[in-house]
A = this chain, B = another copy of it.
Amino acid sequence: MNRCSDESDVADRGACEVPLIDERATARALAALPDEGGVRTLSDMYSALSDRTRLRILLALAAEELCVCDLAAITGVSPSAISHQLRLLRDRDLVTFERVGKRAVYRLADEHVAILLEQGLRHVEERS
């Protein structure tokens, strides 16, 4: 079903499931790909931004430090749901928080997050 050329380590995880059309281009593309860990990290970062609620949380925090309650009001989502999402964003190191009395005041973890959001918004504008 395939000529199974073992010269290039193309997708050697499953060993030759699919025939290659353009071996050269395939080899080059494969070489250009980040390692599996890098791809995973990148997709994890994007998936954190792929939900409307989380995205509005981050965009709001890009403008102001806010507590759970206010974020709930801004997004129109229950405080519980917000708390769950904030936990995910914390695990991804996208936000940090500080306890102030009974409140938990959240902010973006670092400047890179704000830059990332801004770049994303710019791309959306440019391709309309």
Contacts and interface: CB of A to CB of B under 8 A. Distances in A.
Contacts of A29: 60-61, 63-64, 66, 70, 74
Contacts of A65: 25
Interface residues of A, number: 65
Interface in A31-71: 31-34, 38-43, 45-47, 49-52, 55-56, 59-67, 69-70
Quickly give the copy total for this chain.
2
Chain A, interface SS category: helix
A41 B42 CA distance: 19
Contacts of A22: 66-67, 70
Q: Which 5 A-B pairs have the closest CB atoms?
A: A47-B50, A32-B63, A46-B49, A11-B76, A29-B60
